[in-house]
Amino acid sequence: MSDSPLHHRVLRSVGYLLTGLLVLGAVAVLAWPMMGKDDGGGGGEGARPRPTGQQPTPQGDGTDPFAMLDPNLDTSGSKNTGACGAKSASYKRAGDGIEITVVYTGVGTVRAVVLPAEGEPQIQSYTTAQDPHPHTFQFDGVSPQAIKKVSLTIMNSTGMTDCDVPRK
């Protein structure tokens, strides 16, 4: 017989039993999504009901996840024809700095970058959702003569576009 008291042997046996139950529970949780009822099995989406006529859109495949909400929504800004796909973009002198005016009618983020001849780049951005009104970036203390480059980056559902902004 074992040298350990009876209660130690009972606790050890109960511990092994609970560990086995925990492992079985983990296997059941991992296997549950594969036992979907609506499409004969397979896939993590199988156990959840979907709205009629809509298929799930996997992330990272280049499709627009907002298209399921409103199929007529143009999130890419494809109607824009100016710099970087913006409807219009230009910069001009304004007070002691410069002003960049952008009209982007898609859905995404517009980032303006001013690279002075000396010093650190200055960056500002805004997010838009089909706003037809001009957005103005104000960069104070930047002389138009001391600018090396002014650029835009537009990030939307189709990717990212970089381009130079013309002077007005």
CATH number for the domain including 152? 2.60.40
**Residue 38 forms part of a structural domain:** yes
Domain with 101, as residue range(s), is: 83-164
Residue 100 shares a structural domain with residue 144: yes
**Residue 109 forms part of a structural domain:** yes
Give the chain's domain count.
2
Are 71 and 147 within 8 A, CB to CB? no
Residue 88 shares a structural domain with residue 160: yes
**Residue 33 forms part of a structural domain:** yes
CA distance 137 to 100: 5
Residue 159 shares a structural domain with residue 87: yes
* 86-145 tens-digit pLDDT: 778 888 988 888 999 998 888 889 999 999 888 889 999 999 888 888 999 999 988 878
**Residue 100 forms part of a structural domain:** yes
Residue 95 shares a structural domain with residue 145: yes
**Residue 16 forms part of a structural domain:** yes
* 48-88 tens-digit pLDDT: 544 544 444 444 555 555 555 445 445 554 555 666 777 78
CA distance 102 to 116: 20
**Residue 22 forms part of a structural domain:** yes
Q: Report the length, in residues, of the chain.
A: 168
